Amino acid sequence: MLGEIIVNKEKLVILDGNSLLNRAFYALPPMTTSKGEPTGAVFGFTTMLLKIYDEIKPDYIAVAFDKSKVTFRHKEYEEYKAGRKKMPEELSKQFEPVKRLLNAFNIGIFELEGYEADDIIGTISKRFESENLEVIIYTGDRDALQLVSDYTKVVITKKGISETDICDKEFIMEKYGLEPKGIIDLKGLMGDSSDNIPGVPGVGEKTALKLLHEYKTIENVFNNVENINGKKLKETLMQHKEQAFLSKRLATINRDVPIDIDLNKIRTKDYDVLQIKQLFSELEFKSLMERINTVTLNNAKINKEIKCEIKPYERDIKIINKIVEEKVFNFIFIYDDNKEVEGMIINGQYFVSDSFITDFKEVFESEAVGKNTYRAKYVYNYLISKGIKLNNLAFDAEIAAYILNPTENSYDLVNILKNFAGILYDEDLNDIKQLGALFIENFDAIKENMLNKIDNLQMNTLFKEVEMPLIKVLANMEIRGFKVNRETLHNIGFELSEEIDRLTGEIYDLAGEEFNINSPKQLGVILFEKLNLPVIKKTKTGYSTDAEVLDELYDKHEIVEKILNYRQMVKLKSTYVDGLLACISEDNKIHSSFNQTVTATGRISSTEPNLQNIPIKMEQGRQIRKAFEPSSLDYVILSADYSQIELRVLAHISKDDNLIDAFRNNQDIHRRTASEIFGVSMEEVTPLQRSRAKAINFGIVYGLGDFSLAKDLKISRKEAKSYIENYFKRYEGVRKYLDSAIEEGRKNGYVKTILNRVRYIPEINSSNRTLRAFGERLAMNTPIQGSAADIIKIAMVNVDRRLEDEMLRSRLLLQVHDELVLEVHKDELQYVAEMVKEEMENAVELLVPLVAEVKWGKDWYEAK
């Protein structure tokens, strides 16, 4: 029977810090911050702590830790805890943040040289347990059961970190048939392999309990050893008597540790919400942010508030003149709950309401005044709507924060203030004006800090010449939009509906009945019960019918191909036809959002809607591009696409002679690779060999191994392995590059692109094999993908600048991975086509030529 916590008594909770951290580390999947710091054990420990506060509501609380590796037990028995594996570095690193959290919670931490946490816990519980104070010990170590008494319970973690047993005297009697002190005798006889306590050889828990049920203590066992049945057992006991008593001493918790403990000093106190939230933010514990607000403590409160004075702006020309004179304008826009501009906060912490923003037209448009802000793209879009141009944009704090750590979860003001100004702001205050004012008040320090870090990482060119100018390019693309022909989309949707209906009928015929094709459960019954197809895998709810399963069943029954086609048609209709129709604005255009601070590699992403993932591998998907047209009949759509840019980047950074030679001689790289790895002339390469070589070429870029390649090509792993081995024999430079990329990642914790864009890879030094392999793949492909992203960004900036400087009517509409899409005036077509090709091919200088293919037509489909 499990014990219960007594509700109406004061409670002292004592946590075994080492034991609980260790339990959390091994119970939970590995977790790291975006900077690579391990946090899984801290998360698990903190989750347990919050649960204790929420459910137990302790009046007093303390945490004990081991202080040193050598204790009084080692002095008595050198082999004590010998053979234990060294604590993983990922775990040892997490003790310091846990102690910082405990300090923020104002929880007493106790540790003493030469003693273990168990001894400190035993001493505290002995000193304070009484009929008026219930002691509750939290641990994963069953040694602590010896501390159970009428006034002390031990809560033992069982499965994971959430399931526990509350152990009182009745529990121990029911489970072991012993009094709590009998646990020490039990350990003395049976030993404890985890602590390398020897016990008596051959005596396990069953035998030890049988002896103790009869004789109660080790002393009585040996006093009556002649009466024990079993010759072998008797001889073993007599031979190992000293070892048994040694084991009992080693297992005995010292409850008289010379440590000073004042009960009043471990009383549950107010805790520092702000500091805790800062730590949660630093550790990236988003899910725990909400819980800290609901945990009940004694009058918990925030210990620190930061405020700054906000002054109203009332059409003071002196303020504007001062900005013009100083040639620096620091400002941030403030938005209301509907994301509408409410105003802006400027130099001096003045709040300028929306109606007065136009007063600053001269400042915004001045080329002499440098503009420093946050999320400048939104500022640019808003000002354009007011007929104001944003010129000489010098600094965007969000962009700077992004390139300094592209895997950060958020680049909001709270994080920027914390990371670059050392200011902790409590988000619960929910005062966006205060937050903005704090940002402006500390802007110069934030900017200087960021620019120093950018300079140290050699990213000045990337920041100043690529990312900052790109803001305006993306803003203009959003404002411009891409015209979409509703009628064309409706017609495509109608054709897709007809195809869906046709496939539905065929599927019903093959199944012999009507059913919900979109229901995995009903589809599973048809495939695996009615048609008796082999079951590939199951989920908690039944048969799996995902794409991977259907691919494996493809040749087993005609219905599988129909279902796959049906799913493709349904997705095209719902996501790309119906979805796009819903996004068309009153001007008959789609105004997508282009995101500059989302991907870890530096690629631009598109949302609301995503125009970068319109399918191109199947004809029905490509047809959707027919709906994307120029804004008038005077224009055509031009598409300029880099040819194999990632492989060209690979040739450059690997300096592989064969790759470089192939590209410099304008050879078909996939045919050349097929020739190299299959040992045939380029003329003899078959279509199948070229196709496999193509998969290998691009697979290498993404760190593809033999398992994945075998799966993709539907060949054996042995064959896939031989392909990869042959590839690296011919492309030795690529092999050396990949190895050096992994080594760089391990050494620095990050890798860089051609333009020195940084990506942190914490996984690469993980002790978890799967995570480490993932990190190695990132180290190999990030410099390639990231460099390709940098190159097309440079091309975008240069093309846009040429169009504007030369006052051309043509303009950029869209960027899709390695492709630029423009709307080009027919009178400028030849010139712009050549100019775009020139700028793309000369964006950077590589060891191999960059090649851009330019096409145009009456719509995006025809241009592609």
What fold characterizes domain 10-176+253-266?
Rossmann fold (3.40.50)
pLDDT tens digits along 109-141: 999 998 999 999 999 999 998 878 999 999 998
Q: What is the pLDDT of residues 604-647, one digit of tens each?
A: 999 999 999 998 888 999 999 999 999 999 999 999 999 999 99
pLDDT of 293 > 70? The answer is no
Does residue 270 carry a pLDDT above 80? no
Q: What is the pLDDT of residue 322?
A: 93
CA distances from residue 471 to 333, 392, 627 in whole angstroms, order as listed: 16, 12, 27
> Quick check: 226 pLDDT over 80?
yes
Q: Residues 827, 635: contact at Cβ < 8 Å?
A: no
The answer to whether residue 304 scores a pLDDT higher than 50 is no
Q: Which residues of the chain does CATH 3.30.70.370 include?
A: 601-655+742-864
- What string of DSSP letters covers 156-173? EE-STTT-EEEE-HHHHH
Most confident residue range from 315-324, 508-517, 678-687, 740-749: 508-517
Task: Assign 54 a pLDDT band (cuts: 50, 70, 90).
Answer: confident
Q: Which tokens go with 291?
A: 């819980």
Q: Would you state the pLDDT for residue 509? A: 96
Beta strands at 635-642 and 852-857: parallel, antiparallel or unpaired: antiparallel
Give me the pLDDT at residue 75, please. 81
CA distance 609 to 627: 15
Task: Give pLDDT, residue 6.
Answer: 53
What tokens appear for 102 in the block?
């405990």
CA dist., res. 203 & res. 201, Å (int): 6
Average pLDDT over every residue of 693-702: 85
Residue 387 has a pLDDT of 96
Query: Taking the model in full, what pTM does it have?
Result: 0.72
What's the mean pLDDT when you consider all of the chain?
Answer: 90
For residue 280, the model assigns a pLDDT of: 87
Is CATH 3.40.50.11900 what the domain over 311-456 is classified as, yes or no? no
State residue 851's pLDDT score: 97
CA 642 remoteness from chain centre = 30
pLDDT of residue 294: 45
Distance set, CA 261 to CA 36, 60, 110, 154 (Å): 37, 12, 9, 20
Contacts with 503 (C-beta within 8 Å, 6 or more apart), sequence order: 562, 565, 566, 569
CB 471 within 8 A of CB 393: yes
**Range(s) within the chain of domains with CATH label 3.30.420.10:** 311-456
Higher model confidence: residue 363 or residue 299?
363
Contact 63, 19 (CB under 8 A): no
Q: Which of 74-78, 154-158, 469-473, 531-535 has the highest mean pLDDT?
A: 469-473
Return d(Cα 80, Cα 68) in angstroms, integer: 13
Please state which CATH class domain 601-655+742-864 belongs to: alpha beta
Q: How many other CB atoms sit within 10 Å of the CB of residue 304?
A: 12
269 pLDDT more than 80: no
- Nearest partner of 57 among 9, 128, 124, judged by Cα: 9
pLDDT class of 98 with cuts at 50, 70, 90: very high
Which stretch of 217-231, 365-379, 383-397 has the lowest confidence by average pLDDT?
Answer: 217-231
Compute how many other C-beta atoms are within 10 angstroms of the C-beta atom of residue 733.
18
Cα dihedral sign, 598-604-610-615:
negative
- Low-confidence winner among 31-35, 491-495, 567-571, 722-726 (lowest mean pLDDT): 31-35
**pLDDT value, residue 290:** 64
CA 360 – CA 256 distance, rounded (Å): 74
Q: Which of 467-481, 574-588, 673-687, 846-860 has the lowest mean pLDDT?
A: 673-687
All CATH 3.40.50.1010 domain ranges in the chain, comma separated: 10-176+253-266
Q: Is the pLDDT of residue 761 over 80?
A: yes
Is the pLDDT at 454 greater than 50, yes or no?
Answer: yes
Alpha carbons 19 and 175: distance in angstroms, whole number: 22
* Confidence bin at 427 (pLDDT 50/70/90): low
Whether the predicted pLDDT of 399 surpasses 60: yes
Residue 1, pLDDT > 70, answer no
Lowest mean pLDDT among 430-434, 594-598, 753-757, 801-805: 430-434
Copy the structure tokens of residue 775. Answer: 């990190």
> Which distant-in-sequence residues (6+ apart) come within 8 Å of 308 by Cβ?
349, 434, 437, 438, 441
The pLDDT value given to residue 300: 39
* Range picked from 583-592, 666-675, 757-766 for highest mean pLDDT: 583-592
User: Please, which pLDDT band fits residue 145 given cuts at 50, 70 and 90?
Assistant: very high
Buried-exposed string 676-699: b where 16+ CB fall within 10 A, e elsewhere: bbbeeeeeebeeebbebbbbbbbb
